Chain A
Amino acid sequence: MHTGVTSLAKLTDMAEVYPFAGYEPLFSVIALVFFVAFIAKQIAMDKQAHEEQLDHTSEAVATPAE
């Protein structure tokens, strides 16, 4: 790994000081994938948890919204 920053001699000229500067679009894609995976996993977790509680039977009791 290399930050690209090797000198602190000209502080007034410095801007980005993090490693892999220039790869920001790739970083954005990583963040988006992580975000979507989070939501997808939550939907799957909800489904699994409720099926467990229902003991895999269909739910016939009406809720007040129905």
Chain B
Amino acid sequence: MTDQLAALTTIFTEFYYFLTVVLMFFIHVGFCMYEVGAARVKNVQHTLLKNTMAIPLVGLAFFLFGMWIYIAFQGWPISTSSLSFTTGFEPWSTKIAPNLSDRISGVFWAAFALFGMTAASIVSGALIERTKTSGFFIIAIYVGAIAWVIPAAWGWAGNGWMAQYMGFHDQYCSAVLHSVAGFATLGVLIFLGPRIGKFAPDGTPREIPAHNPWLITIGLFMIYVGFWGFYAACHIPIVDVGTQGAPYFTATNIYGVPITLSGVTMNFLLALFGGMVTAYMISNGNAYWTYSGGLTGLISASAGNDFYHPIIALVIAVAGTIMAYKLHFWVERKFKIDDAVGAVAVHGYCGLFGGIIAGFALWGYPAVLPSAGALVTLGEGAGWFGVNTEGLPVITPVGNILGSLMFAIGFGLIPGLILGKLLAMFGLLRVPAHVEVIGLDGKHVHTTYPHHSGTEAAFETIQRKEAKF
């Protein structure tokens, strides 16, 4: 790079994404701690490894085909009828390796791969204590590297056909990622069934106590931290969206439209506050729901948190949290769904709600801004549901309702049901009942907490004997 301005913006962007990836890793630390805390002692090691190994699994799937899907599918099948195999993100591409002519593709890939791992982790928690790891792996590959990626290509990119033709807007992935992962979880849960003993013979749900509430607490805080990184990674941090004679340098959203990180920061926090306070009040101070409320608030407001006023973000967070809390318990009682961590409510219901509400709250706002800097080019005939005076497609309720429902149902619930059914048919979904009762850690149960299980004392006896103490 010989041009100083290009060098500065490129290297800043490279470093920016690099840091977002580091921050997003906290999501996985958080999910691991959260799920381990929620599991009973006899399932701790299985739960930990099931979640941990989703990280390299989805990462490899994203390397092999996930990122290619995101780039190749953006215009298909509306703007273009063909899929490119020269996107630069095929596994054989030279751009995702040390290459002095490309400083962005690798960090960009990593940010997306972390999004995918997050999607898989959303499913993981709901299935704990009775799911085969191999079955979960297959679900994780689908949810992490396919299910949310096609919606992202279509509706979460400046050149995505749903963004351009339907005016679909979902800046921080309420519908694109959370609703897809949440509803896919619901589909799988229907065939997985509840943990043995979760429901009394009359159908009343029983509380299965978490083995370590403090791990849950720290885990959810970590997820909040990682969520900051996720928000950051959804931006183009610095780009010229002006014209040749009138440059305009700014951060933009994923659609190439100028935003301020300052405003986004306010909205992130007010949505978090709204969700936490609402959950605290509605649950009468239940700690689990108070922490989860931070996530319900954020996910409900995320679709439009690039443009909302902070108080609008707060109000949406409040509404989404009440809805998720009520719906979770209603579905649990009515349909005997055992969602161990409330993932369907937090991610599924709030994600869908957030995607739909953004269509109303941001009605009329330009959905994309074409510019050479952000590499956004407007397709012919864009703006099915309306255009502004400059011919740009605008955000509308109908665009966001259709898009959000298509993602939640078409890429989440229905494939989740099919996957759940197929895995159950092939015996890959649920562990045998005997194994579930003994615990998925089997012969390793006593090594989880050696001090409490007596293993440590037994070893000390050997030590004393050998030391002739």
Contact = CB atoms under 8 A, between A and B. Distances in A.
Interface of A: 11-12, 14-18, 21, 24-25, 27-28, 31-32, 34-35, 38-39, 42-43, 45-46, 49-50, 52-54, 59, 61-66
A24 B86 CA distance: 14
A9 B198 CA distance: 69
Contacts of B2: 12
A30 to B, nearest CB: 10
B434 A61 contact: yes
8 contacts: A12-B2, A15-B99, A16-B98, A24-B92, A32-B64, A42-B53, A52-B442, A54-B435
B92 A27 contact: yes
A55 B91 CA distance: 43
B2 to A, nearest CB: 6
Given A32-B64, A34-B60, A52-B442, A61 B97 contact: no
Nearest to B138: A39
Contacts of A32: 64, 91
| Residue among B63, B94, B134, B138 with most chain A CB within 10 A | B134
A8 to B, nearest CB: 10
A62 B433 contact: yes
Contacts of B92: 24-25, 27-28
A39 B100 contact: no
Contacts of B56: 38
A16 B97 CA distance: 7
Q: How large is the interface on B (under 10, 10 to 19, 20 to 34, 35 or more residues)?
A: 35 or more
B53 to A, nearest CB: 8
B261 interface: no
Contacts of A18: 97-98
Contact of A61 (B98, B192, B432): B432
B100 A35 contact: no
A54 B424 contact: no
B100 A17 contact: yes
A16 B94 CA distance: 7
A14 B196 contact: no
Interface in B254-284: none
Contacts of A52: 442-443
A63 B288 CA distance: 28
Contacts of B28: none
A63 B435 contact: no
A21 B57 contact: no
B431 interface: yes
B206 to A, nearest CB: 12
Given A15-B99, A18-B98, A39-B57, 5 more contacts: A24-B91, A39-B137, A45-B134, A46-B132, A59-B434
Contacts of B115: none
Given A24-B92, A24-B93, A59-B433, A14 B100 contact: yes
Nearest to A34: B60
Contacts of B98: 16-18
Interface string B160-198: 000000000000000000000000000000011111101
A32 to B, nearest CB: 6
B40 to A, nearest CB: 16
Interface in B81-101: 90-94, 97-101
Given A35-B64, A42-B133, A63-B193, A53 B442 contact: yes
A32 B130 CA distance: 29
B433 A63 contact: yes
Interface in B60-118: 60-61, 63-64, 90-94, 97-102
Contacts of B430: 63, 65
The 5 closest A-B pairs by CB, nearest first: A65-B193, A59-B432, A61-B433, A24-B92, A28-B91
A66 B438 CA distance: 19
B92 to A, nearest CB: 4
A49 B434 contact: no
Contacts of A59: 432-435
B428 interface: yes
Nearest to A43: B134
A46 B434 contact: no
B191 to A, nearest CB: 6
Nearest to A8: B100
A63 B196 contact: yes
Contacts of A28: 64, 90-92
Contacts of B64: 28, 31-32, 35
